[in-house]
Amino acid sequence: MRVLYSYFPWQRCGDSLTGWAAPCHPDDGRIAETGEHRDLAGGYHQSCDLRKWISLEVIGLLGLTRFGQMQSPRWDNGCIAEELRWGSDYYQKLVREDGGMLDSVFIPLGWGPRDFYLSDSPPPAMWSTIRHQALLAAYFQPRDAAYSETCKQVALRVWQYMTSTKPRYEKYQAPALPPLGHDHLNSWYAGFYPGSALDLAHRLCAAVALYRVTGEPGLLEDAVQSASALVDLQVGSAGENNDVGACFWEDPARKNLVESGGYFWHSTGPLGLCELLELKPEHPDSAKWRKAVERVAQQYLNTSRRNPWGLIATRWSIQDQPVPAPGAGQSVSDLYNGGKLDLPGAAGPDRFAVYQYRSYGYNVPISAAGVFMRYAAKLTGRNEYRCVAQRQMDWILGCNPYDASAVEGVGYNQPLRGFYGEFFPPTPQIPGAVSTGLTSGSILMQNSGFANEYDMPVVGWVLWLMTEQAGSSVPQGK
């Protein structure tokens, strides 16, 4: 955990004594619409480039915060609080007076000031900032009451904006596209709109975290409504006897499954339901939430049993045809049949659910699924779920067909990291860095390290999973 933690100070951006390039980007940033300078220095280089994506960096900081809340290592001596504050200060600068958040796609590339926009960040950036600042308010409560209060007020201001000023927003459109890579930036956020599963999942996690530090009944009621709307989107009885029943629709139109391969789903929806269940196990709606959680845990368990490494399949999607059995000489598809879907109306053609184990960047989903399995084990008493959580950890540390650890400085045979295109200047080797997900392409020299990028979200979630597996070292009630 100490090695993983060290990724954060190494990656600091701005005027620090620890960042690998420090001091750097002291002039962040330039407000694109007006040309004025505003102090937006700080935060982190998120991955193997110099950017500090607002919607993604925070996902890693959630893991770091949970680590700080649950572990009390001897080497801490105040450095964990200092690190949490470093990340938090940057996010607080991004929050506008009205509670919305500035946006950026971090152009121009290089060491000069980057452009920031007065227009809103993508919705997950704002929902996750509420969750993050609320967790920080709890962390700092016994350590620095004034800073705790600031975090709480920032979280409430963004919450107010998302639920009062911006309750019926349009799909996100990036203010500009970066010149190298990220052409599909807008599709990252296409699943976020009011009433969508991703939006409900993020709102649920934000409301639960904020309720814990404020005790406001309205926030609990909001969490309950999001949770109930979310479980209504679970495929459920339409696929009761196969694994697809645990999946969620993207929205009430029930045409597509929620995008589950990236940063946003496994780190929110299923976990949010667990957190609410822990908070209010006796709520009249809790039976529905529990059923939804049990379905997800069973699906994770089932797919983990269908390969020798215990890996959970985390990406589900829909096709018009089932995956055919491979003919002689054909390679085996990386898609597996997950069952037929009964669509509403039943007039259209049949559609089929398929699942995938190693979609691009799968280390965040499997670490988040591991954290979920720990919660699910507590809620259901089924200890086998804890073993499945550990298998995800084992996979990341080297128990995989590549015999390679995804964590720099821990284990063996780490593949080369990305070294091309937008990854200049090259990021040095950083102890504790975790790459996004090993695939067969990770170890081919001609790929120049494609798919082996370091990334802050995965570092944070592997650290969170380790924290859960290690057990809490903080006495109850602290």
User: Using CA atoms, how far apart are residues 452 and 47, in angstroms rounded to an integer?
Assistant: 10
Residue number with CB closer to Zn ion (25 or 374): 25
Number of residues that bind Zn ion (CB under 5 A): 3
Residue number with CB closer to Zn ion (43 or 262): 43
Q: What single DSSP character describes residue 318?
A: E
Part of the chain binding Zn ion (CB under 5 A), chosen from 9-17, 120-128, 198-206, 287-295: 9-17
CB 25, min distance to Zn ion, A: 4
Which amino acid appears at position 147 of this protein?
Y
**CA distances (Å), origin 325, targets 302, 307, 321, 341:** 20, 17, 12, 19
**CA distances (Å), origin 233, targets 169, 198, 296, 342, 361:** 20, 11, 13, 14, 25
User: Using CA atoms, how far apart are residues 363 and 456, in angstroms rounded to an integer?
Assistant: 11
Residue 425: how many other CB atoms lie within 10 Å: 11
CB 58, min distance to Zn ion, A: 17
User: Among 131, 117, 226, which Cα is nearest to 172's?
Assistant: 117
Q: Which residues, 10 to 69, sit near Zn ion by CB under 5 A?
A: 13, 24-25
Residue number with CB closer to Zn ion (45 or 358): 45
With vertex at residue 15, the alpha carbon angle to CA 14 and CA 17, rounded to the nearest 5 degrees, is 115
CB 451, min distance to Zn ion, A: 24
Residue number with CB closer to Zn ion (12 or 315): 12
Residue number with CB closer to Zn ion (52 or 85): 52
CB 267, min distance to Zn ion, A: 25
Q: What single DSSP character describes residue 448?
A: T
CB 450, min distance to Zn ion, A: 23
My answer on whether omega of the bond before 178 falls inside 30° of 0, hence cis, is: no
CB 202, min distance to Zn ion, A: 28
Position 114 contacts Zn ion (CB under 5 A):
no
Part of the chain binding Zn ion (CB under 5 A), chosen from 7-15, 66-74, 285-293, 455-463: 7-15
Residue number with CB closer to Zn ion (25 or 152): 25
**What does the binding site for Zn ion look like in residue numbers (CB under 5 A)?**
13, 24-25
